[in-house]
Every structure is written in structure tokens, then in C-alpha cells.
Amino acid sequence: MVEDSLSAAAITDGLATRFIGQEISCYPSLPSTNDVAKIRARKGAKEGTVIVAEEQTAGRGRIKRRWLSPRGSIALSMILYPRLAYLPSLIMVASLAVAGSIEQVTNLKAQLKWPNDVLVNGKKVCGILVESGVRGGKVDYAVIGIGVNVNIRLSEYPEITPFATSLSQELGREVSRREMIQSLLVQAEKLYLALPAGDSVFSQWRNRLVTLGKKVQVSSGEATYEGTAESVAADGSLLLRQPDGSLLRIVAGDVTLRQ
């Protein structure tokens, strides 16, 4: 059995960050770590404050979908105060940090699927939800919510087994969630601090996307489009080459790879 304490003391012990995770609150259970983080942010919490829960009872993903966060998974949210120009890059920072921490801690190969999924062996292992408050052209706060399936038995959740997996399922053994969180926070801070330097974060994210070059179906709002996922723009939107040759820019949606 992996020693897996998610106390604030255990996570901050030896944590090699300047600010992300240096202030941390851990809870046995929460409806949503993002909701707690947003309340803290509106009250002026320090940048880099992290909220962790052993389980979420009302976790959510994009488009108000339910996100399953039982015990054995990682559910955390970090509070940031970025410039408005960096807001679209936070999904890139988060997905790259998750993929990097998976590879560092487990040696499993992680892939990214547009717009915000982290995959292992073609199945979803992580969900990311960025929420923010913007007023007068300035970001009041941004919260990055991250849920990672670490030590959950997929046999107990048959509703997600067709498209999801967990790190322990892929490895055949349990993984230290504390090590995963520490690695994730270190990598998130490094990527976040690199944003002012230019397009390196965008380039890393784009180069990891398994979606690009593939024939896909994209659901965006009430509409469905088909074509080839040709590229992505710097703001994270997908550039879809349609059958008639036209190029469509999709800001938000869900992608399914076509056979």
C-alpha cells in the first residue's frame, strides 16, 4: 500500500515551488474544490493558493458535466491572478503540467486531446476546468481545477470504463498522489512563469496534441462539424479544415476521432 497522506504538511514538505502550493488547504470531502477556490480568490487569497479534497461530491467538468472524483483520485484547484492576455494559456499550462507529472512519477506516456483532456493509452485520465472572473478588461482571479484518476478501480465505475482509465489501472499498482501533486505543482509554476517569455508553452501544448492531423467530428454548441483538425491558434482554438476546403475556427467544443 502506497503511503498517501494528502495533508497540507505532507504536500508542502520539500515542495520546490516559490508560490504555487505554498499555501494549501486540504479537506476530507468537498462538493467542488473550484467553488471553494473562487470564494477564497474573491476574498484576496494569495496567488498560488491550492485547495485539495480527498473526494468531490459535486465535481464538474466543462459545459456543466459531472466529473467523478471518488477517494483515490486527485481533486485540486489553484488560484492565480494572471494578466488577461494569459487567460487562454492556463488550459495549456494545466494540461502540460498534468502530462509531465504523470510521465515523471509513473513513466507512463501521456497525450493531450483538444481542448483539455489528458490521455493514457488513448483513454481519459484527467479533466481540467478553468474558471475566472473578469471585470473592466482585468482578471479578478483565475481558478484551475484539475481532477486526475490516480488510484481508482474502474470496475467500480462501469459508466466511465469505455472512455476513461486510471494510473493504477494502467500500471497495475497504486501511485503516490502526494508525489503526483508535488510534481504537478512544480511543473505548473514553471510553465506559468514562462508565459511572459513568448510562445514556448503554446508550442509545447500544440506539439503534444494527438488531435492534429486527424479526421475528426467536432460538437460545438448545437452544431456538429467534420473535417481534419489542421492546427490550433495561439488562443487555443481549433482550426478545422472542412471537406469543402474552408477553414473553420472553433473556440470551444468536443472532438471525436473518426475511423
- pLDDT single digits (tens) 79-110: 999 999 999 999 999 999 999 999 999 999 99
| Cβ contact 99:208 at 8 Å | yes
Per-residue model confidence as pLDDT tens digits over 115-157? 889 999 999 999 899 999 998 889 999 999 999 999 988 888 8
Q: Is the pLDDT of residue 62 over 50?
A: no
Q: CB-based burial of residue 179 (10 Å sphere; 0-12 exposed, 13-18 middle, 19+ buried)?
A: middle
- What is d(CA 99, CA 25) in angstroms, rounded to the nearest whole number? 24
Per-residue model confidence as pLDDT tens digits over 170-214? 999 999 999 999 999 999 999 999 999 877 899 999 999 998 999
The Cβ of residue 108 has, within 10 Å, a number of other Cβ atoms equal to 16
Average pLDDT of 46-69?
75
- What is d(CA 194, CA 1) in angstroms, rounded to the nearest whole number? 37
Determine the residue type at 142. Answer: A
Residue 63, pLDDT score: 42
Is pLDDT larger for residue 68 or for residue 44?
A: 44
Average pLDDT of 243-250?
92
Q: Which whole-number Å values give the CA distances from 50 to 19, 151, 193, 238, in the listed order? A: 10, 21, 17, 30
Mean pLDDT of the chain: 90
Options 3.30.930.10, 2.40.128.20, 1.10.260.40, 3.40.50.880; CATH for 8-207 is 3.30.930.10
Residues 6+ apart with CB under 8 A from 73: 55, 147, 148, 149, 150, 151, 152, 166
Where do the structural domains in the chain lie, given as residue ranges?
Answer: 8-207, 211-257
- What is d(CA 171, CA 82) in angstroms, rounded to the nearest whole number? 36
Residue 154, pLDDT score: 82
Instruction: Name the grid cell of 186.
Output: 512544480
Residues 6+ apart with CB under 8 A from 185: 15, 17, 20, 21, 50, 78, 97
The pTM score is 0.92
Return the CATH class of domain 211-257.
Answer: mainly beta
